[in-house]
Amino acid sequence: MWESFRDLLCRNPNHRFTEDLLKSGLMQIILALDYLHTECKLVHSDIKSDNILQEIEDKSILESFTQAELKSPSPRKIDNGFSVYASRRFDLRKVFGRAVLSDFGSAVRGDERRNHDAQPNVYRSPEVMLKTDWSYPVDIWNWCYE
């Protein structure tokens, strides 16, 4: 099970990550980028907190989630014959697992220079904004920005 960095940040009462989570999460993402760039020759080009997923290490959270659902089921509706349930949040965790990079829908080959629009507007690197050639460094820009 996974939860995005964005969801974790929004659910945390002070809207901040712990130092340990931030250190390990950012290190794991830079290692993922190293692999993506060096071995796969790909530029992710959409690194943002929605696309960094954090593993749920503490499985007791899943048990409490199940118990809460059994005790008080989530509201649902029927849409075209399918049951659609309202979301239920996990409890806040104290222990975190691996951080992984997700959503490779905007990934492009990195061994070719590009100059088309990429990256979310608020996270765009200077070379993308200026419509100059770009490649692997745009991912590092997003990693630092995020």
DSSP character for 17?
Answer: -
Measured over the CA atoms of residue 106, residue 107, residue 108 and residue 113, the dihedral's sign is: positive
Q: Which residues contact 130 (CB under 8 A, 6 or more apart)?
A: none
Amino acid at 137: P
Q: Compute CA distances 83 → 23, 74, 78, 87, 120, whole Å.
A: 40, 11, 5, 13, 33
Please answer whether residues 53 and 7 qualify as being in contact, where contact means their C-beta atoms are separated by less than 8 angstroms.
no
Q: What is the largest CA-CA distance in the chain?
A: 57
Structure-token pair, residue 23: 């250190």
Q: Which of 7, 34, 46, 133 is catalytic?
A: 46
**DSSP β-ladder status, 82-85 and 76-79:** antiparallel
Active site annotation includes 7: no
Q: Which residues participate in catalysis according to the annotation? A: 46
